[in-house]
Amino acid sequence: MRTQVGIIGAGPAGLLLARLLHTAGIDSVVLESRDRAYVETRQRAGILEQGTADALRAAGAGERMDREGLRHDGIELRFARRRHRVDFPTLTGGRSVTVYAQTEVCKDLIALQRREGGPLLFGAEALAVEDAATDRPRVRYRHRGRERVLECAYVAGCDGFHGVSRAAVPPTVARTYERSYPYAWLGVLAAVPPSHDELVYARHDRGFALLSLRSPTVSRLYLQVPAGTDPAAWSDAEIWDELERRLETDDAWQLARGPLTAKSVTPLRSFVHEPLRHGRLLLAGDAAHIVPPTGAKGLNLAVGDAVALARALIAAERGDPAPLAAYSADRLRRVWQAERFSNAMTALLHRPPDATPFDDRLQLAQLDRVATCRAARADLAEAYTGEPFTGGDGDSAVP
């Protein structure tokens, strides 16, 4: 089989890239190792930056998001039993975020691809990217028990951190930067309406807590726990009790409890692979970078990669190679800014296991500055809501 762009991975980056290429008249084939049910049910991020929501609308994938997604105009920071709201629109010139789960984004893009786009093969395991440095790269993959070859003009590696795409960049060319954090997130889904109408980020001497949501009837909550924690070691009652301790305030606010329907532990890590391009292999999404979830940047970076890569590939097909040549450097500027913000939010809100009383007071002083200084709040709000996918790095919401 042959196509213009071979896309490995049917996550948000791969699916949106396929959609944008299709609308520009460029053929692609998407290979996904998992089945459709897995892709449409795996729990991932749920906060869409303003630019991400705009990009999905521009791609024709925003109808259900606009109907069912929840616009949020701020977040709440809690520390020392006090509550402090960060108002996004007044600090950013009108930007906001949308609560809409990654699973729903994938469902929408899969439906569009199946209805209007090119081949989307589930259960197609990519085995290797070959001849990436030539003008005829190819992907070896296994589908329905047979090994096959997809010949391409370009390969987009959107196959996540554990995929095969990144391995096709020679060690003499690749550079990696990473950090592991000494704590993780114990995350739960609860069949109970959220206890607050916006996300709550709480710093507590016992550790970080996050009150989030997936819908008006489903809460998503997280606790900082030691790295390597077994989620089964926490009973439902222990989780609710600990959330109550870390989210408590001096006013009448109360945490609503309900049945827990899912429980998992997510390690926190940062990772960047450079470059994002080797020959005709282009990396995007988690194949290229990982951020700790505190800043809600993972999904949004993947969408930004897809938008920029689609723009670059479309320009190359039309005779302009410059955006493709600049893809890696341009995106890495955005990636490192997201890493900076995600690391800063993580350090601001989590208590390290070796924290001293001096460290605790510094952390509280930093939070107090955000609460009392408009410039500090504006810096947080601008980074959280994200820059539009336009501007100096060449991104465009509509390729």
Q: What are the two backbone dihedrals, phi and then psi, of residue 329, each rounded to the nearest 5 degrees?
A: -65, -40
With beta carbons less than 8 A apart as the criterion, state whether 31 and 7 touch.
Answer: yes
Burial (Cβ within 10 Å: 0-12, 13-18, ≥19) of residue 142: middle
**CA nearest to 44, candidates 236, 290, 273, 260:** 290
d(CA 270, CA 6): 27
Q: Report the first-to-last Cα separation within the chain, whole angstroms.
A: 27
This model's pTM is above 0.85: yes
Task: Please state, as a whole number, how many other Cβ atoms lie within 10 Å of the Cβ of residue 53.
Answer: 23
* Token pair 């970080």 in the structure block, residue: 208
| Domain edges within the chain | 2-179+268-385
Quote the CA–CA distance of 239 and 57 in Å, as a whole number.
Answer: 38
Residues recognised as catalytic: 72, 201, 293, 297, 384
What sign does the CA torsion over 165, 168, 174, 177 have? Answer: positive
Query: Is the preceding omega at residue 275 within 30 degrees of 0, hence cis?
Result: yes
Q: Which residues pair with 33 in a beta bridge?
A: none
Q: What pLDDT is stored for residue 288 in this prediction?
A: 97
CA–CA distance, 245 with 224 (Å, rounded to integer): 13
Tokens matching residue 246: 């870390």
CATH class of the domain whose range is 2-179+268-385 = alpha beta
Q: Would you give per-residue pLDDT tens digits along the chain (399 residues)?
A: 999 999 999 999 999 999 999 999 999 999 999 999 999 988 777 899 999 999 999 999 999 999 999 999 999 999 999 999 999 999 999 999 999 999 999 999 999 999 999 999 999 999 999 999 999 999 999 999 999 999 999 999 999 999 999 999 999 999 999 999 999 999 999 999 999 999 999 999 999 999 999 889 999 999 999 999 999 999 999 999 999 999 999 998 999 999 999 999 999 999 999 999 999 999 999 999 999 999 999 999 999 999 999 999 999 999 999 999 999 999 999 999 999 999 999 999 999 999 999 999 999 999 999 999 999 999 999 999 998 876 444 444 556
Pairwise CA distance, residues 101 & 298, whole Å: 12
Task: Please state, in angstroms and rounded to a whole number, the distance separating the CA atoms of residues 96 and 132.
Answer: 40
